[in-house]
Amino acid sequence: MSTSTFVISYAYTVTYVTTKMLLVLKEIIREIGLDPSSFTSDWDSYEEAISTWLSSRHLQRVTLEVYDPRTNVLATRWDIDVVYASVGDGALWVDTAAIRYALAKAGLAPSSCRYTIKLKNDPDYPPVHGWSPCDFRSTDGFMRYAVGATVGGNGLSAQTAYWSR
């Protein structure tokens, strides 16, 4: 009789979830009709901040704000909310079908729009070079549409939602 054990460390889960969250953001940016090159050029900074704050369990949300640069008014917004649990089954997963479906429903952003990525943390989060507190654009007049859990593994998951008028 043989016994085997499968263990995924939290550090590996953080790496997996960080990478998948960033890939989801890149896909959203591209599929709503915007150029992801500025996002990908800052990939290392996003990766460092997200993985640091997932590891310390301070990261609450990753937000993609799409806005009109002439007025600085929000055009649409995508949130990836982090959910921490004490246990997991060891599975690592991403629900690309749910993301594709939400993208089809949300539609394209106006081509003149720009975007920014913002991170929201719990208080007393550890510092990461190049990152500081920020304000979010108003969502007044918008409705929030939940996509559901889209990335996860081993006690750590991310739930995606988008905002639209």
What one-letter code names the amino acid at 127? P
3-class DSSP state of 142: coil
Residue 125 has what pLDDT? Answer: 97
Return the percentage of the chain with pLDDT > 90, whole number. 87
* Dihedral sign (CA 27, 30, 34, 35): positive
Quote the pTM value.
Answer: 0.92
Distances in Å between the alpha carbon of 97 and those of 77, 84, 93? Answer: 19, 23, 12
CA distance linking residue 57 with residue 79, whole number of Å: 17
Average pLDDT over residues 1-13: 66
Residue 4 has pLDDT above 50, yes or no: no
Q: pLDDT tens for residues 77-86?
A: 999 999 998 7
| Residue 117 bridge partners (DSSP) | 64
CA nearest neighbour of 74 among 64, 85, 84, 87? 64
Residue 86 has what pLDDT? Answer: 76
Return the percentage of the chain with pLDDT > 70, whole number. 94
Average pLDDT over residues 126-139: 97
Residue 8 has what pLDDT? Answer: 59
CA nearest neighbour of 78 among 48, 54, 102? 102
Residue 28 has what pLDDT? Answer: 98
CA distance linking residue 124 with residue 60, whole number of Å: 13
CATH fold of 10-121+140-164 reads Cell Cycle, Spindle Assembly Checkpoint Protein; Chain A (3.30.900)
* Dihedral sign (CA 57, 26, 16, 77): positive
Residue 5 has what pLDDT? Answer: 46
Average pLDDT over residues 112-116: 98
Q: pLDDT tens for residues 45-76?
A: 999 999 999 999 999 999 999 999 999 999 99
Q: What is the mean pLDDT of the chain?
A: 94
